[in-house]
Structure 1
Amino acid sequence: MIGPRRLLPSMPALLALEAVDRLGTASAAAAELSLTQGAVSRALQGLEGQLGVALFIRERQRLRLTPAAQDYVRHVRVHLTALSQASLRLRANPGGGGLSLAILPAFGVQWLAPRLPDFARRHPGVTVNLSTRLRPFDFAAEGFDAAIHFGRADWPGADHLLLLEEEVLPVCAPSVMAEPVAAVEALLTLPLLQLESRPGAWGRYLAQQRVPGQRPVGMVFDQFATMTQAAIHGMGVALLPLFLISDALQEGRLVPVWPARGHGLGSYYLVWPKDVPPRPPLLAFREWIACQIG
């Protein structure tokens, strides 16, 4: 049930409040909202009058929210985001059935995307909207139905479905090395490519091959995609998840430098908010993706 309407501010007033909190001045907020500074000031004054609470501390040319107003605008921002996401879902699928999914770029492109046409054939009434998120977030604030998570089953307030345990393999272009090395220690003599977010990956892999205590250095990349291309073009040896390179291995663009697989830092999960009743599109997606890993 919606509370007293006299406490429900207008949308322009809430948008002005959120913009001033983020940008610091009424003039900057006015520029972003395509309004005059006077219109923004009147909206804020009206909001203060409606709520009966002072929201700002005025310091020369800047407006600083009071501590109570800062707490208030955090809640406002969450609900404005949720309204925006709901509108996007409605526009994308006027008949209902939209699913908003946060994905990791490499997993989304290489593992999920090739399988999605099958989901579309089985559930033509569901439109899947994909957005990239690299770290856990608040589902209520972001407006997603579910997300792909890498690591452990530790997303706060979420249920988890294990999709894939990561296995890694050292690979390079055939021009760098046509055959596997004779001993795993020989990896240390080769140009090793590294991922910025996994600085200890090579040391961990070598320890799994009974060569402990190593922290080799090498060229650093910020994404799997660029590191994979660097390996394909002969720039060195990359330690890559198998699901990313299955096609390149099959086509001969990459070859194993050492045949033993290693265990990655974690696993891939589908996660969704625990305390929110799942919508039918999410139930359909969960059932479908469980069949993909079965």
Structure 2
Amino acid sequence: MITARRFLPSISSLLALEAVDRLGSASAAAEDLSLTQSAVSRQLKQLEEQLGVDLISREQMRLQLTPAGAEFAKEARFLINRLGQASIKLRANPTGGSLNLSILPSFGLNWLAPRLRDFVKSHPEITVNLQTHNLPFSFNTGTAHAAIHYGVRDWADVEYLPLMPKYVLPVCAPTFLDKPIEKPGDLLAHPLLHLESHPDCWEQWFTLHDIPAGNLHGMLFDQSSTMTQAAIHGLGIALLPTFLAENEIAQGRLALAVPGEAVTLGEYFLVWPEAQSGSYPLIKFREWLQSQTQDQSTRDVVHS
């Protein structure tokens, strides 16, 4: 339901209030807005009369926002920024339809990005805007309409589309090991590289190989890409997703640290708030993503 119009201030009055709060004076706000100081004062007076609340303290020569005025100015700033972002998106895609997708850096760079051109070509009416995240975030505080999530179904109040398991391989620089390793347990004698967002990956990997391992220590990285570079430069053994490891192995920059098949430690999902379920850009992106992951599953049966 739309708020009663009598409670909706004009954009010009909100801009005046926000500028006074941000800059600290009516004269500075007037210069920022290309208005006269008296025009700014009129906008503030009209806003107070409309709301029936004192927003400005006029006891001194310099205008001061009341506590209520300062709080309202914060809300106004947030709404003005959101409206500005919406305007930019509309200019970028006049036909309408955009999808703000929050992605995991490694997955986005190495798996999604090479395929995304196909979606853009099939749906030129939809603009996909990419953001990155490493740690869980809230849809309530950001602008993302959907996100790529890794792990298990532990994100509350979202809808899930399973994409694919995350297969991983232990890899290191080709010259890192003095002699070949034949047993998974022998990796414990070497420095292991860890990912900040999934610090227990190595423990999970050893558990799958029936090897007790706890409280493992080593260098910690915030992104798989930087951990990959560390492994390439001989700083330790990294546990990388196959879509990242296999490319580096093919280029000769990395090698398997121990023989064996890739194992899965979790699953990738597309997640979105229920309120976004009927969004046309999201519906089309889900359909496309499903077709891509089905094709991927067919090609990767060797890992199943």
State if a TM-score over 0.5 links the two structures. yes
**Matched position secondary structure for 1:245:** helix
1:253 is displaced (CA, Å) by 1.9
**1:34 aligned to 32, 35, 45, which one?**
32
After superposition, residues 201-240 of structure 1 pair within 5 angstroms as 201-240=201-240
1:236 is displaced (CA, Å) by 1.6
Distance 1:57 1:134 in 2: 44
Look up the equivalent residue of 1:250 and give its one-letter code.
Answer: A
**Matched position secondary structure for 2:193:** strand
Look up the equivalent residue of 2:32 and give its one-letter code.
Answer: S
1:129 is displaced (CA, Å) by 1.5
**Matched position secondary structure for 1:234:** coil
Aligned twin of 2:300: none
Distance 1:224 1:202 in 2: 14
1:174 is displaced (CA, Å) by 0.6
1:173 is displaced (CA, Å) by 1.1
**Matched position secondary structure for 1:157:** coil
Out of 149-158 and 136-145, give the one that drifted further.
136-145
**Matched position secondary structure for 2:47:** helix
Whether 2:103 is the aligned partner of 1:103: answer yes
Q: Deviations over 1:21-78 (max 9, x none)?
A: 7x6x7359x57x93599677765554333211245899x9985734x974x6676566
Distance 1:42 1:163 in 2: 56
Q: Deviations over 1:80-104 (max 9, x none)?
A: 4542332122111112232222222
Distance 1:244 1:171 in 2: 11
Whether 2:167 is the aligned partner of 1:148: answer no
Whether the 8 Å CA contact 1:180–1:256 is kept in 2: the answer is no
1:277 is displaced (CA, Å) by 5.2
Distance 2:145 2:287 in 1: 14
Distance 2:134 2:18 in 1: 25
1:143 is displaced (CA, Å) by 3.4
Aligned twin of 2:182: 182
CA 204–18 in structure 1, closer or farther in 2 if over 3 Å, else same: farther
Look up the equivalent residue of 1:242 and give its one-letter code.
Answer: T
Whether the 8 Å CA contact 1:92–1:98 is kept in 2: the answer is no
Look up the equivalent residue of 1:292 and give its one-letter code.
Answer: Q
1:213 is displaced (CA, Å) by 3.6
**Matched position secondary structure for 1:142:** coil
Look up the equivalent residue of 1:273 and give its one-letter code.
Answer: P
Q: Deviations over 1:177-218 (max 9, x none)?
A: 387512222212212222233333323322222221432322
Unaligned runs of 5+ in 2: 295-304
Aligned twin of 2:162: 162
Whether 2:115 is the aligned partner of 1:115: answer yes
**Matched position secondary structure for 1:267:** strand
Alignment: residue pair count: 288
Distance 2:40 2:168 in 1: 55
Look up the equivalent residue of 2:149 and give its one-letter code.
Answer: H
Aligned twin of 1:198: 198
1:227 is displaced (CA, Å) by 0.8
Out of 120-129 and 280-289, give the one that drifted further.
120-129
Whether 2:245 is the aligned partner of 1:278: answer no
**1:65 aligned to 67, 85, 110, which one?**
67
Distance 2:57 2:110 in 1: 51
Whether 2:88 is the aligned partner of 1:88: answer yes
1:232 is displaced (CA, Å) by 1.4
Whether 2:24 is the aligned partner of 1:6: answer no
1:15 is displaced (CA, Å) by 4.5
Whether 2:262 is the aligned partner of 1:261: answer yes
CA 64–107 in structure 1, closer or farther in 2 if over 3 Å, else same: farther
More strand by share: 1
1:8 is displaced (CA, Å) by 1.2
Q: Deviations over 1:205-249 (max 9, x none)?
A: 222222214323222222111110111122221111222222112
Look up the equivalent residue of 2:203 and give its one-letter code.
Answer: G
Look up the equivalent residue of 2:115 and give its one-letter code.
Answer: R
Whether 2:271 is the aligned partner of 1:293: answer no
After superposition, residues 240-259 of structure 1 pair within 5 angstroms as 240-258=240-258, 259=260
Distance 1:218 1:47 in 2: 58
Unaligned runs of 5+ in 1: none
Distance 1:81 1:139 in 2: 17
CA 196–17 in structure 1, closer or farther in 2 if over 3 Å, else same: farther
Distance 1:17 1:153 in 2: 44
Q: Percent identity?
A: 48
Whether the 8 Å CA contact 2:55–2:65 is kept in 1: the answer is no
CA 174–74 in structure 1, closer or farther in 2 if over 3 Å, else same: same
